[in-house]
Amino acid sequence: MVAETCATSTASNPYPSSDGYPWHWSIYRWLEGENAAPERIADLYQFAIALAQFLAALQRIDPADGPPPGSHNFFRGGSLTTYDADTRQSVATLDNEIDTNAAIAVWEAALEATWHGSPVWVHGDVSAANLLVKKGQLSAVIDFGCSGVGDPACDLTIAWTLLSGESRQAFRASVPVDSATWARGRGWALWKALITLVEHIKTNPLEAEKARHVIDEVLTDAQQTDDI
């Protein structure tokens, strides 16, 4: 069972932060389920479709008066240019560790795929930790602390962090985004994996290996789909 929580910096929150967790928080209700993982999902293909349908429904909600991207949500829904310097520095740091030429090609393709659409609601942190599974199926999406209105590309990173092969194809076919948005989604996934690998490469082999896997998935996907 997992709690649906909301983290906030609002000083008036009645549930102040405690040791080990630096933000104010509150619990809305308890949701049954476990964090998503391949071994807990009965059919990853159907899971991908269900998640895509959730994102499509989220994007249909009226975005009027929704919060735009900013430092409060780590610019989720905003432009990838915010993290251009971080990404290029990470690639330089990882020279001889990854295929830097391919990484830069994917990143620059993401930057060039400029978003011209109308703002839509984004969750902002669609990760396995924020997807609940019950009886092998997607049962809930939690933690909307990074939500806002803007470019939906940031919500596509799950395609490379959890999905693969046919499940990734099913997700792409079911989520309402074009090829340019998909390219920007790859950019979001690549940026996070690069900075994670730089952070953990010498200190946390497990996290470093996870980051390497995501980088490999992103680069391979771009090559296979001829998007770069």
Q: Which domain holds residue 9?
A: 1-31
For the stretch 176-228, pLDDT in tens is 999 999 999 999 999 999 999 999 999 999 999 999 999 999 999 999 886 55
Q: Residue 29: its pLDDT value, please?
A: 81
Considering the domain architecture, whether residues 2 and 98 belong to the same structural domain is answered as: no
Considering the domain architecture, whether residues 27 and 97 belong to the same structural domain is answered as: no
Q: Residue 10: its pLDDT value, please?
A: 34
Considering the domain architecture, whether residues 23 and 85 belong to the same structural domain is answered as: no
Considering the domain architecture, whether residues 140 and 153 belong to the same structural domain is answered as: yes
Which parts of the chain have pLDDT scores under 50?
Answer: 3-15
User: How many domains are there within the chain?
Assistant: 2
Q: What pTM was computed for the model?
A: 0.89
Q: What angle do CA 90, 96, 97 make, to 5 degrees?
A: 65
Considering the domain architecture, whether residues 94 and 8 belong to the same structural domain is answered as: no
Count of residues in the chain: 228
Q: Residue 6: its pLDDT value, please?
A: 44
Considering the domain architecture, whether residues 4 and 113 belong to the same structural domain is answered as: no
Considering the domain architecture, whether residues 13 and 27 belong to the same structural domain is answered as: yes
What is the CATH number for 202?
Answer: 3.90.1200.10
Q: Residue 213: its pLDDT value, please?
A: 98
Considering the domain architecture, whether residues 124 and 208 belong to the same structural domain is answered as: yes
Alpha helices in the chain (DSSP H): 44-60, 84-93, 100-112, 158-161, 165-174, 179-200, 205-224
**How far apart (Å, rounded) are the C-alpha atoms in residues 119 and 138?**
26
